[in-house]
Structure 1
Amino acid sequence: MLQSILTETMFSKVAIWSFKIIVIIILFTWVLKRIILTKNAINNSSIKVLERISVGSNVSIVVLDVKEMRLVIGVTSTNISILYKLPPVIEKGKQGLSIKSEDIENIKKDLSHVFGIKQ
């Protein structure tokens, strides 16, 4: 009789631990799927941040690809403004930005006026 009670207690403990392990495995699988789906949704987004440059404590310039457009935006703590709309770049691999040197000079000139920097 004592042996049958001990056997039943051991069986119930093993059953409970097995159930807990199965629940943990199912929860872990669910969390992993959610992480992977979220990561894929972010990677498939039509907005990609190409580069971010900090200009001041709360000011930065960001280069974005938005669908078929490339934007240069200024971001402050209170405002976001489009500084330039660049033509889309057809990538033949993973290359950087293809901007003409005269465009760079115009961007520098306009940004110096926006941020009050003297050249």
Structure 2
Amino acid sequence: MSPHLNRALVLEAPVETPDGAGGFIGGWEVLGTLWAELAPGRGRRAAGVEVAVSKVPYRITVRGAPSGARSRPVAGQRFRDGSRVFHVLAVSERDPGGRYLVCTAEEVTA
């Protein structure tokens, strides 16, 4: 059965830019928009540094892309849907032909 790719998610990669004082500032570079299917898992509450946070696992399915392509998500990147952010933890092929990829991700909210 084919996934229902009905959500446009922005794929972002971490970048560091010089701060002018010998250090770096972390940020995110937009790699593109991918159509995806989101399937939430069971959430849990975790203690944050100063507040309690909610961590919800997601299975995000997108179209396949060859290794090394900018459109292929990798662990350490993230998806953005407006103000919602999904951190990519792992990526694997959904089917033997590699037509779809499954991203194990986590949404963290305060």
User: Shared fold (TM-score greater than 0.5)?
Assistant: no
Bigger strand share = 2
TM-score of the aligned structures, taking structure 2 as reference length: 0.23
Bigger helix share = 1
> Higher RCO, 1 or 2 (CA under 8 Å, sep at least 6)?
2
